[in-house]
Structure 1
């Protein structure tokens, strides 16, 4: 009897240790596993095109944006920051001029001009993502081209607003660049009609 109890405890211990070694992997929006980037993967980035890098990193960036976005209302008046930000507001204007299209959302007394057209200025998404650093890239050109690829990826995945959105309440997740209390660049990662 004592022998069975010892064997049972040993087996339970082995089972507990094997379960402790398991790692639950998050899934992206398509149900595919999101695997964190290894040092070897980071080294491979130098040999990839910006579009391929964008494809590889997007699930991780999207996950970080959803999990670590700060509320716009918590940002101080004199802060400088580049971050993923969540807010709700009313669409006050839809501007469409050739390749530059924007949706202006008023939230908490701020007018946020979301860039939603074919031309997106700035590095807000790239610089908001904690997993991207300049050291991972071949040169400054590749690093800059990654911004363009990430901006394009973001715009291609959102629901495209139009003039009918003016006056409606929207919930937004975006990468913002704020300098001297002015939002200089805002790139949406998600825009939904309605309140949170």
Structure 2
């Protein structure tokens, strides 16, 4: 009788121990799975932006600039949104290439040259946003945080990538017209700033206030 009682008690304790152990294991698995999760950024079409791997970057040497641009464009837009600084915070005499945000008033649409531009006044600057078929400078390429020259075959490929990025940016913005003059616009752009002057400004997003 005594042995039978002890055996039942031991079995009960063992069962309780196993139950507690099982709960501990399950909780550990759940916690590990939760900590392994992370929020994935979405592009403007709601599709997940997958970070570029080292293997992807190594493939650039054998891709055309246009193919590279198509592949990385969602990441370019997200990089611009994440890294953009407010133009009003840029210190005097700063020298930088950066993504910037600003709101300003359209002074004019300059179509007198092949290099069509929208002139916007903001934070004491007059910014000529390049919106035509000819875009100067490397502002988008050089403002990006996830590309470097080492990932490319040579200087020619790197230069052509800059042109492909510029063209892609202009293709996907709303093209301004004369009706924009006097309107307030919100802008996300890649710019080069030297000696208190904004140059080589390329818009990635441009929107009239209220739209």
Aligned equivalents of 1:92 and 1:109: distance in 2? 13
Question: Residue 97 of structure 1: SS of its match in structure 2?
Answer: coil
User: CA deviation digits over 1:108-142, x for unaligned, max 9?
Assistant: 22100000000000000000001111111101110
Equivalence for 1:166: 181
Equivalence for 1:45: 60
* Bigger fraction of residues in helix: 2
Aligned equivalents of 1:24 and 1:5: distance in 2? 32
1:61 to 57, 72, 76: 76
State TM-score, norm by structure 2.
0.89
Aligned equivalents of 2:41 and 2:100: distance in 1? 22
| Number of equivalences | 196
Aligned equivalents of 1:108 and 1:13: distance in 2? 53
2:107 to 60, 84, 92: 92
User: How far is 1:20 from its partner?
Assistant: 1.7
Gapped regions of structure 1 (runs ≥ 5):
none
Deviates more, 1:53-62 or 1:14-23: 14-23
User: CA deviation digits over 1:33-88, x for unaligned, max 9?
Assistant: 21111111111000000001001111111001111100001001100000000000
> Greater CA radius of gyration, 1 or 2?
2
1:22 aligns with 2:37: yes
User: How far is 1:179 from its partner?
Assistant: 1.3
1:138 to 153, 162, 166: 153
Question: Residue 100 of structure 1: SS of its match in structure 2?
Answer: coil
User: How far is 1:98 from its partner?
Assistant: 5.3
Deviates more, 1:2-11 or 1:48-57: 2-11
1:8 aligns with 2:23: yes
User: How far is 1:152 from its partner?
Assistant: 0.6
RMSD of equivalent CA atoms: 1.5
State TM-score, norm by structure 1.
0.95
Q: Which runs of 4+ in 1 moved over 3 A?
A: none
